[in-house]
Amino acid sequence: MLKMNDIIKVENENDIPNSISEKVWIEVENTKLGLIIKSIDPENPVLLILGGGPGIPEYLLESEYGSNLDKYFILCYINYRGTGLSFDKNTIKQKEDLTSETYFNDCIAVAKYLCKRFHKEKIYLLGHSFGTYVGLNITYRYPEFFHAYIGMSMIVDQNLSEQLAYQYMYEFYKGKGKTDRMKELDKYKILFETKSTINFKDPLTKQYFEKVRDAYMHESGIGTTHEMKSVITGIFFPSFRIKDFSLMEKINIWRAKMVTSDAPVITDAFNFNAFETINKLKIPFYVFAGKYDYTTAYSVQEKYFNRVTAPLKKFYTFENSAHSPLFEENEKALKIILQDILKK
């Protein structure tokens, strides 16, 4: 059962009459889900954004870089169950309940809430990274709620993507003559000699993902953004500048990150194979892919796009981006959204 509990008005930089700037909590299956809702015009179409992570809220990137989407949409950022604004101390005890089906149901409940509140028959959906795993599945199952789906930096076959990323980083450091990095990567070579299932309970896999992968990806320019060289300076420090979050809510981002890192939904997403499960969509489908993206490898995204069928589909390459083209090449992304998706 869906209920609206709390709405907190937050700082509105636009200072425009009737504009929206809110933190909202709704109740879904006895759990509060936190949302950030922004728009300069309450009559705009609605765009639900399913971010990456799921521990780090997508709103961090919005706060740090700005998407400018609130000019054209009623923009809703969801904080997934157990994360960010939706963090609850019981999550620590019940992380096995953080399943794919739970996340799918939560996001559909939010879509229904947005349709009802803003009097829309349908909304737009944008998934980013992990959010594309959720987004692709819910648009496949429930197309009736959505005008179109934008997949940015898509999870398609993460087993293959991780293999390609490992190879890229090894060659990158080889080209730079950084033998120390190559030796460190050699410790994990066995994980990537063949395409295999990712098991986060395996000690070697856990060590690679916790201590090496993200740091080396950012250092080699294939992480969150092409220019971001450090998770600490690019993600951790900015998380404490994130607009509209209280200090405790900022701390909860990292409490949630630790708790959800090996939740069932994460394992599902990393072992999801869209080639084998979803080959047809019933709504328009758009892909935003950064040329330098190996977090979710560009070549794998392109290969999937060429195979999937949809009433309308378009693939957009962002030549100067890695994993976050909406924020890295914002002007180009906005032009595409306005002209090709909203038809303005």
CATH number, domain containing residue 149: 3.40.50.1820
Is 163 found in the same domain as 152?
Answer: no
pLDDT number for residue 92 = 63
Is 42 found in the same domain as 60?
Answer: yes
Report the share of the chain in percent with pLDDT over 90.
69
Name the range with the highest mean pLDDT among 15-29, 49-63, 317-331. Answer: 317-331
Is 57 found in the same domain as 45?
Answer: yes
SS3 for 26?
A: strand
Task: Quickly count: other Cβ atoms within 10 Å of residue 307's Cβ.
Answer: 11
In the sheet with 146-152, reading across from the earlier edge strand, the strands are 2-9, 20-28, 31-39, 74-79, 46-50, 123-128, 146-152, 285-290, 313-318
Task: Quickly count: other Cβ atoms within 10 Å of residue 203's Cβ.
Answer: 8
**Beta partners for 2?**
28
Is 120 found in the same domain as 186?
Answer: no
| pLDDT for 135 beyond 90 | yes
Is 251 found in the same domain as 228?
Answer: no
Amino acid at 77: Y
Give tens-digit pLDDT for 270-309. 999 999 999 999 999 999 999 999 999 999 999 999 999 9
Q: Is 301 exposed, middle or buried (0-12, 13-18, 19+ CB in 10 A)?
A: buried
Is 189 found in the same domain as 68?
Answer: no
How many distinct structural domains can be found in the chain?
Answer: 2
Confidence (pTM): 0.93
Is 152 found in the same domain as 38?
Answer: yes
pLDDT number for residue 205 = 92
Paired sense of beta strands 2-9 and 146-152, if any: unpaired
Is 306 found in the same domain as 288?
Answer: yes
**DSSP 8-state secondary structure symbol assigned to residue 56:** S
pLDDT number for residue 5 = 57
Q: Which domain holds residue 183?
A: 159-197+206-232
Is 219 found in the same domain as 141?
Answer: no
Is 330 found in the same domain as 250?
Answer: yes
Cα 83 from Cα 221, distance rounded (Å):
27
Query: How many angstroms separate the first and last alpha carbons of the chain?
Result: 37
Cα 79 from Cα 257, distance rounded (Å):
12
Cα 175 from Cα 79, distance rounded (Å):
40
Is 219 found in the same domain as 129?
Answer: no
Sign of CA dihedral 335, 340, 341, 343: positive
Is 308 found in the same domain as 216?
Answer: no
Could you tell me if 304 and 310 are in contact, meaning their C-beta atoms sit under 8 angstroms apart? no
Paired sense of beta strands 31-39 and 74-79, if any: antiparallel
pLDDT number for residue 15 = 65
